[in-house]
Amino acid sequence: MKKLLSVVSLALLFSGLSLMAQQPKIEIPQRTDQERWNRCAYLGMVNSLMVNVFCKSKGMTVEEIGDWLGKQYAPGWSSNMTPQGYFLGVHRNAMTWPTAVVEVTAETENEVTFRSFRAYVPYFGEKGILYGVTIGEYEKIGMIVNKAIAEHGGLQIEEKIDGMWWVTTVSKKK
């Protein structure tokens, strides 16, 4: 009986200690869905940017980085795309940003022109640099990647930056 009582007493003692150990001393903030989404978008941006940082640290040029990334990403897209299909893929990817806006500005059967809000710009700060990558480098790499994806899909693409908009025209190859 004494052994049983000792075992029960020790079990209660240890269970009480584990409950006390689980009481947080740090006040953990409750994040809203919007705060969590904003943080996720930022981390996604930084993660993609770190590939650029790493490649630059290995001496690769912006063009080489874009070419390499294009070869990685293009096979994940259809090899027989329509301009509308390309737009829908870009739209899907852009919707991971909480402040994303992607609008079709012109469309025919063979061509789609659309603009994407450059939601990532504020992350680069006033100097336009984030982790040693300029916004110009980031966008040039993106344009090279987009060209590789479009060409893989049998399309041609033209892109330009217009204020806070990234303007893209994608069409069937002639």
Q: What is the pLDDT of residues 16-68, one digit of tens each?
A: 655 555 676 899 999 999 999 999 999 988 998 999 999 999 999 999 999 99
Q: What is the mean pLDDT of residues 5-19?
A: 58
Q: Name the fold adopted by 33-172.
A: Muramoyl-pentapeptide Carboxypeptidase; domain 2 (3.30.1380)
56 is written with which tokens?
């630059």
Q: Which DSSP symbol is given to 124? A: G
> What is the pLDDT, as a whole number, of residue 56?
95
Separation of alpha carbons 6 and 12, rounded Å:
10
CB 112 within 8 A of CB 87: yes
Q: Using 50, 70 and 90 to split pLDDT, how confident is the model at 133? A: very high
pLDDT tops 60 at residue 85: yes
> What is the pLDDT, as a whole number, of residue 74?
96
Alpha carbon dihedral 64, 66, 68, 70, in 10-degree steps, equals -150
Q: Using 50, 70 and 90 to split pLDDT, how confident is the model at 117? A: very high
Average pLDDT, the chain: 90
CB 160 within 8 A of CB 113: no
> What is the pLDDT, as a whole number, of residue 25?
87
Q: Is the pTM of this model over 0.85?
A: no
> What is the pLDDT, as a whole number, of residue 172?
96
CB 117 within 8 A of CB 43: no
Q: Which residue has the tokens 């990817």?
A: 93
Alpha helices in the chain (DSSP H): 2-21, 33-57, 62-73, 83-94, 135-152
Q: Using 50, 70 and 90 to split pLDDT, how confident is the model at 10? A: low
Under 8 Å CB-to-CB from 119, ≥6 apart: which residues? 41, 94, 97, 98, 99, 100, 101
